[in-house]
Structure 1
Amino acid sequence: MYRFRIYYPGKTKAKFIKDGVSHYIRIISSFAKIEIIELKEAHGEKDKVIEEESRTILNSVKGDFILLHRDGKSLSSLEFADFIKNKSIHQFVIGGAYGVNTEVYNAASFKLSLSCLTFTHEMSRLILLEQLYRAMTIIHGKNYHY
């Protein structure tokens, strides 16, 4: 069974995103153990927030991790499913509203871009979960991805 850990600063505030996150966690659980780790969200000046949240990320995540980042590699859903199937890294980090510092960026084993479009950090949580569910259905030969 796969095990996913997703780290991000702050709680999900938008109700529709919270509902979606709960929905995907529930349906992913038949394929994988999934753990959401909400880290302390920083407040204040942008640079201070980035540094504080990045420090929290580096102190919390143990081992290799995948960073969701706009400069990361774009994968199709089929490529992402292969990536999940063939890699032992199943820890994901989503930065806060302002992103992460260079230290977190450089520490990531892999940088993944969800799209060339820009999403809020909260929307990224939901999109990642949907893609993890899609990957699980592809890997297990279920009818979801066409």
Structure 2
Amino acid sequence: MKIRIIWAGKCKEHFVKEGISKYLNLLSPFCKLEIIEIKESKGKDIIRSLRKDGEKIINASSGYVLLDEGGREMTSIQLSDYLLKSGDRDFVIGGAYGVSEEVTENASDVLSLSRLTFTHDMARLILLEQIYRAFTIINRRGYHH
């Protein structure tokens, strides 16, 4: 299975970078995982910057799942079933100001990691941990209790 995670901007927190590296290593036996980092547009006009970033995101994937706090929630077991049924999958995480309306409208699905709000750096780490957890559920490993 191939999973791509597309996100806007660089990860700023050192501890998050370490966690991302850890989960990329843990996931390597289960799937081919690719991180696509979209350079975040700068400028005072946030809407314009979001649209520029949105074009890059839409061009990077023909079909993606957007992660958004207003999306549909699921349990870790439901996520493992979702991955099994959907096969190859692209996930999108927006930048500090989220994503443009176009990115939301073009998403094949919108999921939420939680009703809580996370920094986009933390959302990256949480998504990777949940993907790892899903694969341990699928493969009946002892990580998920």
Runs of 4+ displaced beyond 4 Å: none
Per-residue deviation, residues 15-63 of structure 1 (Å, max 9, x unmatched):
00000000000000011110000111111122222111111111222x2
Which residue is equivalent to 2:7?
8
Q: Does 1:76 align with 2:80?
A: no
Distance 2:88 2:29 in 1: 20
CA distance in 2, matches of 1:3, 1:88: 8
Percent sequence identity is: 45
Q: In 2, Cα distance between the equivalents of 1:69 and 1:12?
A: 18
User: Cα RMSD over matched residues?
Assistant: 0.9
Q: What does residue range 87-98 of structure 1 map to in structure 2 within 5 Å?
A: 87-98=86-97
Check conservation: 1:39, 1:56, Cα contact below 8 A: yes
Asked whether the 8 Å contact 2:51–2:102 carries over to 1, the reply is: no
Whole-angstrom distance in 1 between the partners of 2:141 and 2:35: 24
The TM-score normalised by the length of structure 2 is 0.96
What is the distance in 2 between the residues matched to 1:32 and 1:111? 22
Find the counterpart in structure 1 of residue 108 from structure 2. Answer: 109
Alignment: residue pair count: 144
**Runs of at least 5 residues in structure 1 that lack an aligned partner in the other structure:** none
Query: What TM-score results when the alignment is normalised by the length of structure 1?
Result: 0.95
State the distance in 1 between where 2:38 and 2:91 align: 13
